[in-house]
A and B are shown apart, each in its own frame.
Chain A
Amino acid sequence: MQFAPILSALRRHRLATALIAFEIALACAVLCNACFLIVQQLRALHVESGVAESSLAVINLGCDDCKGADLNARVTTALRAVPGVQSVAVVNAAPFAQPTGYAGISLDREHFIAVPHFYAGGPGAAETLGLQLMAGRAFQADDFQTAESWLPQNTSVWVTRAFAQRLWPGQDPLGKEFWSDKYHFRVIGVLAHLTPPDPGGGHGDSAGEWSVFAPMLPGDSLHGVYVLRASAIDLPRVLREARVAAQRAAPEAVLDLQQSRTLPELRADFFRQTRVMVGTLAGVIVALLLVTALGIVGLASFWVQQRRKQIGIRRAMGATRGDILHYFQTENFLIVSAGIAIGIVMTFALNLLLMKFYEVPRLPVYYLLAGAVVLWALGQLSVLAPAMRAANVPPVVATRSV
Chain B
Amino acid sequence: MFGYYLDLALRSLRRNKILTALMVLAIALGIGASMTTLTVLHVLSGDPLPGTSDSLFYPQVDPRDMDGYEEGKRPADQVTWTDGLNLLHAKRADRQALMTGGAVPVQPAQSNIDPFFSDARYTSSDFFPMFKVPFMYGRPWTEGEDNSRARVVVISRKLNEKLFGGKDSTGQTLRMKDTAFQVIGVLDEWKPTPRFYDIYMQSYGSVEDVFVPLSTSRDVHFEHSGSTDCWGTGGGDDEHAETSPCTWLQFWVQIDGADKVKAYHDYLVHYSQEQKTLGRFQRPPNVALPGLMEWMDINKVVPGDVRLQAWLALGFLLVCLVNTVGLMLAKFLRRSGELGVRRALGASKREVFMQLLVESGVIGLAGGFCGLLLAFVGLWLVRKQPSDYAALAHMSVGMLTFTFLLAVGSTLLAGLLPAWRACQITPALQLKSQ
Which of A's residues lie within 8 Å of B, judged by CB?
A: 15-16, 19-20, 22-23, 26-27, 29-30, 34, 37, 62, 64-65, 149, 181, 247, 254-256, 272-273, 276-277, 280-281, 284, 287-288, 290-292, 294-295, 297-299, 301-303, 305-306, 354, 357-358
Contacts and interface: CB of A to CB of B under 8 A. Distances in A.
13 contacts: A254-B115, A277-B305, A277-B309, A280-B312, A284-B316, A288-B316, A291-B26, A291-B323, A294-B22, A295-B327, A299-B326, A306-B333, A358-B308
A281 B29 CA distance: 15
Contacts of B105: 62, 64, 254
B304 interface: yes
A78 B325 CA distance: 71
Nearest to B309: A280
Interface string B82-111: 000000000000000000000101000000
Given A19-B329, A299-B327, A306-B334, A273 B316 contact: no
Given A280-B312, A299-B330, 6 more contacts: A16-B330, A276-B385, A277-B305, A291-B316, A306-B333, A358-B308
A298 B319 contact: no
B178 A19 contact: no
A103 to B, nearest CB: 9
Interface centre among A64, A65, A292 (most CB of B within 10 A): A64
Interface string B221-244: 101000000000101010000000
Interface size class of B (residues with CB under 8 A): 35 or more
A74 to B, nearest CB: 17
B19 interface: yes
A288 B319 contact: yes
B320 interface: yes
What DSSP secondary structure best describes chain A's contact surface?
helix
B contact patch SS: helix
B329 A16 contact: yes
A280 B417 CA distance: 32
Nearest to A37: B308
B326 A20 contact: yes
Name the residue among A23, A255, A256, A299 with the largest chain B CB count within 10 angstroms.
Answer: A23
A254 B116 contact: yes
Contact of B117 (A65, A254, A302): A254
Nearest to B19: A298
Nearest to B177: A64
B322 A19 contact: yes
A85 to B, nearest CB: 23
B375 interface: no
B25 interface: yes
Contacts of B25: 294
Contacts of A20: 326
A291 B320 contact: yes
Contacts of B177: 64-65
A15 B329 CA distance: 9
B387 interface: yes
Contacts of B325: 19
A167 B20 CA distance: 63
Of A27, A37, A247, which is in contact with the most chain B CB atoms at under 10 Å from its CB?
A: A27
B315 A26 contact: yes
B334 A64 contact: no
Contacts of A354: 308
Contact of A149 (B19, B237, B307, B316): B237
A27 B114 CA distance: 55
A292 B319 contact: yes
B312 A284 contact: yes
A61 B164 CA distance: 26
Contacts of B421: 15
A52 B329 CA distance: 61
Given A30-B316, A284-B316, A16 B386 contact: no
A23 B115 contact: no
A180 to B, nearest CB: 11
3 A-B pairs with least C-beta separation: A302-B330, A295-B323, A19-B326
B61 interface: no
B216 to A, nearest CB: 16
Nearest to B323: A295
Contacts of A26: 315, 318-319, 322
Contact of A272 (B237, B304, B322, B386): B386
A284 B329 contact: no
A15 B319 contact: no
Contacts of A65: 177-178
B232 to A, nearest CB: 10
Contact of B233 (A181, A255, A272): A181
B350 to A, nearest CB: 21
Contacts of B393: none
A219 B187 CA distance: 40
A247 B115 CA distance: 10
Contact of B26 (A64, A247, A277, A294): A294
Nearest to A182: B233
Nearest to B233: A181
B363 interface: no
A10 to B, nearest CB: 14
